[in-house]
Amino acid sequence: MINKISDKNNYLEMSQILRSIGHPIRLQMLMGLCGSECNVNKVWRQLGISQPLASQHLIKMRKAGLVASTRKGKQICYSVTDERVRSILTYMCDLFGVTEQKKTTKEK
């Protein structure tokens, strides 16, 4: 049975979050950033993608409010700011049996 939509804004917000994390590269980035903040150079090197591609995805996630950026000298570091995203990723890791998320993040 389909629930009657009581507040359409809730569904809109949920779909925006899912759309923002729905790309494989952004999903990998978010899973890594859940453990600790990371600068863009480390992100693109660890994922094996170009720096411009990493920056584009990080900017998109920052605009969506999923990550925040802070300047540390010449570097810009990113971290996950939305606790709902952390919860979603934790649930997905449990659902898919992914256990290496935190260990891999700490090694970075």
pLDDT in tens, 47-101: 999 999 999 999 999 999 999 999 989 899 999 999 999 999 999 999 999 875 4
Tabulate helix, strand, coil % of the chain (nearest 5): 65, 15, 25
- Beta-sheet strand order (sheet of 38-39): 38-39, 75-80, 67-72
In this structure, CATH architecture of domain 26-107: Orthogonal Bundle (1.10)
Q: Domain residue spans in the chain?
A: 26-107
pLDDT for position 2: 57
